[in-house]
Amino acid sequence: MRCLLLALTLSSLVACGKDPGDDGGGGGGGGGVDAGFTGESFRLTWGPVNVPPSKEDTQCIWLRLNNETEIKVHSLHNVLSGGSHHLIVYKDDMDTTEQTTPTPCEPFTGALNSSGMVAPIAITQKADDKIYLPDRVAYTFAPHQMVKLEMHYLNATDSTESVKGDVDFFVAKASDIDHEAAILFTGSPDIDIKAGKTASLH
């Protein structure tokens, strides 16, 4: 199921993920390389977890951000250690109880949640991933916003690896934001192709 769901396409309703070198600065308009990564920020951390050789798993945690008031999240900075395959950051408006210890979880269930109350806002496969939203676009986080972090790790080495992921949420002034960011997750989970066979998906 994990490989199947990785075949789905993640598309944003806004053009997020802009490279800061494209036109003189990331969303926020400061003109510097890291214009979107200044000012107030909040950090959440997954792990560290010691992963033995050849071990692969997907584990989740649920944490509340320590923002006392509503904030507009305009950019994110994700940093992953070795052994990380990818990290998914979810804005979670459904779960109410923190789970700070990484626990096995079904991959991508947040992305496929039909309630609309849990949605991915970042999927990172790079060791250092800076994500900029377009100018005047942000995610709105409620006070003490619940966030789900889903880590897929794989230790392909011969020794134990310490796996960790840091997520920094950078805040924009509310007066600088006109549009709410959202995502559209499209694709089909109904893919079942036998070994050596071909098939069409409609």
Higher model confidence: residue 5 or residue 202?
A: 202
Residue 6, amino acid: L
What pLDDT sits at residue 37? 67
Residue 166 has pLDDT above 90, yes or no: yes
Give the pTM. 0.77
Please, how many CA atoms are within 13 Å of residue 191, restricted to the half-sphere of its CB? 15
CATH topology of domain 2-186: Jelly Rolls (2.60.120)
Show the tokens assigned to 64.
Answer: 């509340």
Instruction: Give the angle subtended at the CA of 10 by the CAs of 2 and 18, to the nearest 5°.
Output: 130
- pLDDT level of residue 174 (50, 70, 90 thresholds): very high
Kindly indicate the confidence band of residue 117, based on its pLDDT and cuts at 50, 70 and 90.
confident
Categorize the per-residue pLDDT at 159 as very low, low, confident or very high, splitting at 50, 70 and 90: very high
DSSP assignment of the chain, as one string? -HHHHHTSEEEESS-----TTTTTSSTT---STTTTS-S-EEEEEEEEEEE-TT-EEEEEEEEE---SS-EEEEEEEEEE-TTEEEEEEEEESS--S-EEEEEE--TTTTTT-TTSSEEEEEEE-SSEEEEEPPTTEEEEE-TT-EEEEEEEEE--SSS-EEEEEEEEEEEEPGGG--EE--EEEE--S-----TT------
Measuring CA to CA, how many Å separate 87 from each of 40, 67, 127, 148?
Answer: 23, 22, 10, 10
Contact by Cβ (8 Å): 144, 42? no
Are 59 and 49 in contact by the 8 Å Cβ rule? The answer is yes
pLDDT digits (tens, 9 = 90+) for 58-76: 999 999 999 999 999 999 9
Provide the mean pLDDT of the chain: 83
pLDDT at 24 over 60: no
Above 50 in pLDDT, residue 19? Answer: no
